[in-house]
């Protein structure tokens, strides 16, 4: 049963995960269809700004030789290396000047899939009065999933809008949706 789409208002926050060049068309770790989420994500950013809701943009921000890279024994090709072109936000992403930028994966020896993992984001959102979060971005079956699970565990009413996210694999996306629903994440299938 499709869920009602969340409308952003004061007390909410929009979290945009990892809409970076390396995850988009032609990137080092391209997620198929990633560029297609930009109209939805940009419309939600505009909605958040109009509602006075904070916009958070997370980014992978890895040092060279990061533990998650294949060359270091990890599962992924090198991606989103600090200060590289691939680590930049997608050029069509319309982040507001006051967006909260959360960098993750900065420690060379461990990965951070969730925007809440050792970033202080939960406390920052609480100080801003956020009680609900709407999550979009890349990739549904990795960082979106982990961020949504962490948001729920930290007491936020958590929504994920599928039209604003893409998975690395369709199987992974289906499994992620199932895990999120079991954790009481509201998955919006608009």
Question: Any idea which residues carry the catalytic annotation?
Answer: 18, 104, 143
Cα distance between residue 46 and residue 67, in whole Å: 36
Tokens of 158: 């958590």
Nearest to 180 by CA among 126, 140, 132: 140
Q: Which two tokens stand for residue 145?
A: 């999933």
How far is 58 from 132, CA to CA, in rounded Å?
17
Each residue of 122-135: b (16+ CB within 10 Å) or e? beebeeeebebbbb
- Cα gap 61→106, rounded to integer Å: 6
DSSP state of 27: S
Distance in angstroms (rounded) separating the CA atoms of residues 184 and 57: 23
């Amino acid at each position: 049963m499709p869920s009602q789409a969340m409308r952003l208002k004061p007390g909410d926050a929009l979290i945009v995960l990892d809409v970076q060049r390396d995850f988009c068309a032609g990137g080092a770790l391209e997620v198929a269809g990633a560029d297609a989420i930009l109209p939805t994500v940009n419309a939600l950013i505009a909605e958040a700004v109009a509602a006075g809701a904070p916009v958070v943009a997370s980014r992978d921000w890895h040092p060279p030789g990061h533990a998650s890279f294949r060359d270091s024994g990890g599962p992924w090709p090198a991606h989103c290396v600090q200060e590289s072109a691939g680590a930049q936000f997608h050029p069509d992403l319309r982040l507001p000047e006051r967006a909260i930028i959360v960098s993750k994966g900065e420690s060379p020896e461990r990965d951070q899939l969730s925007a809440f993992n050792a970033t202080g984001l939960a406390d920052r959102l609480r100080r801003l009065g956020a009680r609900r979060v709407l999550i979009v971005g890349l990739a549904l079956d990795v960082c979106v999933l982990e961020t949504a699970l962490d948001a729920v565990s930290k007491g936020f009413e958590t929504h994920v809008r599928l039209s604003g996210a893409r998975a690395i694999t369709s199987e992974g996306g289906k499994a992620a949706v199932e895990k999120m629903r079991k954790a009481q994440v509201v998955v919006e299938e608009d």
